Amino acid sequence: MIYSLIPIIFLAINPMLYDSSTIFRAFIITLATSIYCLINSINFFQYKIYFILFSIILSFYFISSIINTQSYADFLLGAHGRAFGFLTLLGLFLIVFISADNIATSNKKFINFCYLTLILALIYGSFQAAGYDFFEYALNYKGIRLTFANPNFSSAFLAIMAMIPLSFLFSGNLKLRIFHACTYLWTIYLIFQTESSQGFVLVLLGTILYSILYFFDRKLFKTATIASFLVVTVIVLCVFIYSSNISTRLEQSFQILGRLEHWRISLAVWNDHKMFGVGIENLGKYSGQYLSKDSSSAWGGYVYPDKAHNGILDHFANGGLIVGLSWTMFIVFISYSAIRIQKSEKNIVSKEQARALACMWFIYIGQHLISTDQIALAVIGMFVAGAIMGLRFKSNVRQND
């Protein structure tokens, strides 16, 4: 039942609050994970390396908060509007272990709850696309936002969840396949309605990755990889050849220069605070000192980034060298495990589910590396990470038996 947290987190917004989108979600994460730990036991030491990495991250953030004299509320809650503070981070790490423990017995529930969340998102998103909404959002963005208050997060969420119906396209009877195909296409349609380019790119890359993984242990694997590479190259060439003012269009669609500036700022902040960073979610209090004149002019003089638009750089700047390296190692280990579970013959889940998990993870990481993280996306990412971790562990145990 822990996987029911996924649709709950998707729906958990509170319009009565100034920060309608993250505080309530952070509360639910901490409450749900703490209650789970009270009722059930988790064998953390089964997943030694991850337990060590997470312990290092949390310890160094605690030390960093003391060195940087961070207020206790900012330390526990995180930046207002982001809520990735210490309490949330602890909850997200617990989600990884909880998911790992439950994937063997509840993999169908995980998929079903993800599918349910997607259906809810599609229904609500369709209302928003038609101009109806239950809430009044500030008119900062054009595209639909679902419950994320920002179309970029919505598009990334839809891209991640699109892998679930995609995975069902290759099994089951014809009627079911048609249903899943329609769900997948409906998801693609809503990604366009977010008017956010990153969702489109992420779902395209996820679909190509799924195709490559489909042929992973087949004779046509090399052919599929080369074909995918050629498709992507042709698309990129067409865009460059047939689009006028390509650099302007790319900049408008992906804000490349802006993202590079965010990365430069976070690296500059980390460079001056190498060992312990500036404190968890504290980048916003330092970025104004490192802003370039050109960026300040472009952003109006009053905008100071509170996120690096790259999850790894965020951890380096906020937590320092050890935290950044630990987080990077976590991502690398899970990514490696995501590939390894494709090859395992002793998997508890079907091949389709294993592919879906890998694609969901890589799409989440893709978003994590080029954009700010969002608490609801992080919940899905950590559930997926835990599922991959659990599957890898279980398949290793089976091999040793």
Partner 1 sequence: MTRVIKFLATIYMIGSILFYSKIIQFDNNVSLFLIQGDKSKAKLILNDMPVYKPVAETAVSLINDPDFPKNCDNLMFLSNRLREINYRSPYAYFMSGACKEINGDFQGAYDDVKKASEFEMYNPDYLFSLAVLAYKLENRSELISLLNKIRDVNPSDKNLKILDELLSVKSQPKKQ
Residues engaged in binding partner 1 (CB under 8 A): 14, 16-19, 23-24, 26-27, 30-31, 33-35, 37-38, 41-42, 44, 69, 71-74, 76-77, 79-81, 87, 90, 284-286, 288-289, 291, 293, 296-297, 301-302, 304
Q: Report the candidate in 272, 255, 285 with the shortest Cα–Cα distance to residue 316.
A: 272
Report the C-alpha gap between 181 and 179 in whole angstroms.
Answer: 5
End-to-end Cα spacing for the chain: 29
Shortest Å distance, C-beta 248 to partner 1: 22
Report the C-alpha gap between 320 and 329 in whole angstroms.
Answer: 14
Q: What is the DSSP letter of 137?
A: -
Nearer to partner 1, 76 or 365 (CB): 76
Q: Report the candidate in 57, 358, 362 with the shortest Cα–Cα distance to residue 213.
A: 358
Nearer to partner 1, 112 or 296 (CB): 296
Shortest Å distance, C-beta 90 to partner 1: 7
Shortest Å distance, C-beta 300 to partner 1: 8
Shortest Å distance, C-beta 387 to partner 1: 22
Shortest Å distance, C-beta 69 to partner 1: 6
Shortest Å distance, C-beta 78 to partner 1: 10
- Cα distances (Å, whole numbers) of residue 99 to 105, 112, 353, 383, 401: 10, 14, 15, 5, 23
Q: Report the candidate in 369, 341, 377 with the shortest Cα–Cα distance to residue 260.
A: 369
Shortest Å distance, C-beta 61 to partner 1: 16
Maximum distance among all alpha carbons in the chain?
Answer: 63
3-class SS string, 259-271: HHHHHHHHHHHHH
φ, ψ at 348 (rounded to 5°): -80, -30
Report the C-alpha gap between 373 and 377 in whole angstroms.
Answer: 7
The answer to whether 325 touches 333, Cβ cutoff 8 Å, is no
Nearer to partner 1, 258 or 284 (CB): 284
Nearer to partner 1, 18 or 242 (CB): 18
Nearer to partner 1, 82 or 145 (CB): 82
Measured at the CA of 25, the angle between CA 159 and CA 317, to 5 degrees, comes to: 75
Residue with tokens 């017995």: 105
Shortest Å distance, C-beta 73 to partner 1: 5
HSE, side-chain direction, 13 A CA sphere, residue 293? 0
Nearer to partner 1, 69 or 400 (CB): 69
Nearer to partner 1, 32 or 146 (CB): 32
Tokens of 351: 């091949």
Nearer to partner 1, 39 or 241 (CB): 39
Nearer to partner 1, 79 or 341 (CB): 79
Shortest Å distance, C-beta 70 to partner 1: 9
